[in-house]
Structure 1
Amino acid sequence: MSNTTKNTETTSSRRNWLKNVGMLGAASMAPSLVMAGSNHEKKHSSLYNNQPIRLIVSTYSYWHFEPEKYPIEKVIENAAKIGFDGVEILHRQMENESVEYMNKLKRMAFERGLALPFLSIHQNFVEPDAAKRKEHIEHTLRCIKLAVQMGIPAIRMNTGSWKGKRPADYYEHGRKEPTEGYTDQDAIKWVIESMKECLEEAEKAGVILCLENHWGLSSNIDYLEEIHNALSSSPAMGLNLDTGNFVGEPYDDFERLIGHADIIQAKTYYGGGKYYDKDMDYDRFAKIMRDANFTGYVSLEMEGDEDPETAVPKSYKLLREAFAV
């Protein structure tokens, strides 16, 4: 079977899936669902869009896990005033998981003309204990239900990382040593098995699970691609690329994976990075995205120490200029 035939069949399968799930309204906000079958099959080739890239802002940009949470309601209000197209919700930033609260966020966004395309959650499948992996699977399944309630079509997923203290140079290589008696290949197997279980429910719900290069095991781009390719036959499998989470210079690895990407998170570091600093050439990122015909959302994650009330508008201006047509 030719690559063209495989791509056509995969595209048809994904479109039929979206038609049959009960979340067409949410799914219509999502980027392309045409998944590549190999690194050489580009999923965006038939999705040309001459509009500017849609910019959203992660609620994380306003709250870096301090004791007092920055209200998501206020992020939604800020996003509308600044000019963003939507808001990414950080699960840990939610005040609660009540239907009343989630409906409030959904209505606030709708009334301001904002999309809610992405829910970022935390889980760790790099766990030798099968019972603990199961806990993280159950957490993910619960979050899929939350996404459905809020009309969110995609969820950020992590591979996770080995236990233990982060080495001083962790953000230079992203690596932790495996737990004694285990290897990274064991961890890859656990991630694939756990993701498969989550994807079964995600397919039914019409929610895309976007695996991110989020340090830990996924710092190794070969590992990330191996996991992605093992799961790419699922119409609910996706990929999220974080510009700031690549080891070393990001551009070659970003270009290598952009053909698989469903959404992108773009880091800025005004006031100095919370965990690390990186110089970001967003004109260069934008060219790579245009060349790959990426048409999905770009979500700002402002991870600097500057007051987000000033740093987020600066970041918006930077990204909006870079990603304009």
Structure 2
Amino acid sequence: MNRRAFLSSTSAAAAAALAPQLSQAAPSSPARMKPAICAYSFRKELQDKSMTYEDLITKCVEWNIDGIDMTVYWFPNTSAEWLHNLRRLAYRNGVSIYSIAVRTELTKPNQADRDAEVASIARWVDVADMLGATHIRVFGGTVPKTTTEEQAVPWVVECLKRGADIAAAKGIILGLENHGGICTRADRILEMVTKVNSPWVGINLDTGNFKDHAFEQMQQCLPHAVNVQMKAEMTYDDGKTGPQDWDRVVKLIGGGGYKGYLSLEYEAKEPSAVAVPKGLAEIRKLTHKYSV
């Protein structure tokens, strides 16, 4: 699909259909962005236990980073004791555990399976609450081969509505990520988020996950963005993958009036110990450049 066709079939159509909702979500003042790190950047180290989540807090101090997005996949446990100790450590070091990132699969046809997904969200809401986090990143899920996206949309909306009610009771926001599957394209994500119609559900915008017309799709998502995860690489309109133009990305995000964290989720080839501190320093410069 060429650029003109894409814009006419998605950006313009989606904007027209969702104009009332988007206008309510759009910010009315300049951007305020802060640098953060996503624990997933050190997935290898966390998995082989050469690094702990406590070590990540220390690294935030070393690299002068304000917040951390705690991918939960390698938590040693979810006991109140461990979570509260991690929360205390972060507070004593001036680091905000503002988000956790979990796996969800909300596209399941069977009601009992969807009930289990909602129950899982409820458990992670309790974990986020114990950590003091105000945001949870969730996935939409893969569309089963026996169904269509149109059939799966109501399932995702149902789960998110129920999850939003649970999260709202603890003052926690759910961020639906553009993570492939049913969340491959911005127009579909916007459809689901606006159908949920809750101030406790927004978009976890990953700047590296859109595979075509990425900048246009990011811009579509910005009015509903509740967290941003920055990637080192992205796919450009010519289909080639290359280093992400962070200046252009942060300028775009800032131009949308976004207020919140830009969390580096590093997945490129250079060792994280080398690439992450360099990347965070660059993100910090750009947040100052394009924020109030």
- Same topology, TM > 0.5: yes
| 1:88 and 1:116 in contact (8 A); partners too | yes
Hey, what does 1:207 align to over in structure 2?
A: 172
| Partner amino acid, structure 2, of 1:227 | M
CA positional deviation for 1:65: 8.7
| 1:91 and 1:119 in contact (8 A); partners too | yes
Residues 151 and 37 of structure 1: CA distance in aligned 2, closer, same or farther (over 3 Å): farther
Is 1:157 the equivalent of 2:122? no
CA positional deviation for 1:136: 1.4
| Partner amino acid, structure 2, of 1:48 | P
CA positional deviation for 1:133: 1.7
**Could you tell which deviates more after superposition, 68-77 or 142-151?**
68-77
| Partner amino acid, structure 1, of 2:206 | D
| Partner amino acid, structure 2, of 1:229 | T
| 1:37 and 1:229 in contact (8 A); partners too | no
CA RMSD of aligned residues (A): 1.9
Note the alpha carbon deviations across 1:270-312, whole angstroms, 9 max, x for none. Answer: xxxxxx9543111111221222121211111011232211111
| 1:42 and 1:292 in contact (8 A); partners too | no
Hey, what does 1:43 align to over in structure 2?
A: 26
Residues 278 and 189 of structure 1: CA distance in aligned 2, closer, same or farther (over 3 Å): farther
Hey, what does 1:68 align to over in structure 2?
A: 48
CA positional deviation for 1:37: 4.7
| Partner amino acid, structure 2, of 1:57 | I
Hey, what does 1:112 align to over in structure 2?
A: 93
Is 1:58 the equivalent of 2:41? no
Query: In structure 2, what is the Cα distance between the partners aligned to 1:133 and 1:262?
Result: 24
Question: SS at the partner of 2:252?
Answer: helix
Structure 1: gaps spanning 5 or more residues? 1-35, 163-177, 270-275
CA positional deviation for 1:93: 2.1
| Partner amino acid, structure 2, of 1:54 | K
Is 1:246 the equivalent of 2:228? no
Hey, what does 1:179 align to over in structure 2?
A: 145
Note the alpha carbon deviations across 1:54-88, whole angstroms, 9 max, x for none. Answer: 11101111115975244111111111101110111
Query: In structure 2, what is the Cα distance between the partners aligned to 1:99 and 1:37?
Result: 42
| 1:244 and 1:278 in contact (8 A); partners too | no
| Partner amino acid, structure 1, of 2:249 | F
Query: In structure 2, what is the Cα distance between the partners aligned to 1:64 and 1:248?
Result: 29
Structure with greater strand share of residues: 2
| Partner amino acid, structure 2, of 1:161 | T
| 2:47 and 2:74 in contact (8 A); partners too | no
Q: TM-score, normalised by structure 2?
A: 0.85
| 2:186 and 2:218 in contact (8 A); partners too | no
Count how many residue pairs are aligned between Structure 1 and Structure 2. 264
Note the alpha carbon deviations across 1:195-223, whole angstroms, 9 max, x for none. Answer: 11111111111100111111111002221
| Partner amino acid, structure 1, of 2:26 | K
Question: SS at the partner of 1:218?
Answer: coil
| Partner amino acid, structure 1, of 2:281 | K
Hey, what does 1:96 align to over in structure 2?
A: 77
Hey, what does 1:255 align to over in structure 2?
A: 219
Is 1:229 the equivalent of 2:194? yes
| Partner amino acid, structure 1, of 2:85 | K
Hey, what does 1:141 align to over in structure 2?
A: 122
Picking from 131, 142, 161, the partner of 1:196 is 161
Hey, what does 2:283 align to over in structure 1?
A: 319
Structure 2: gaps spanning 5 or more residues? 1-18, 234-239
Picking from 291, 295, 300, the partner of 2:255 is 291
Structure with greater helix share of residues: 2
Query: In structure 1, what is the Cα distance between the partners aligned to 2:20 and 2:132?
Result: 28
Query: In structure 2, what is the Cα distance between the partners aligned to 1:44 and 1:299?
Result: 20
* Percentage of matched positions with identical amino acids: 28
Question: SS at the partner of 1:288?
Answer: helix
Hey, what does 2:268 align to over in structure 1?
A: 304
| 2:66 and 2:96 in contact (8 A); partners too | yes
| 1:283 and 1:323 in contact (8 A); partners too | no
Question: SS at the partner of 2:231?
Answer: strand
Residues 112 and 66 of structure 1: CA distance in aligned 2, closer, same or farther (over 3 Å): closer
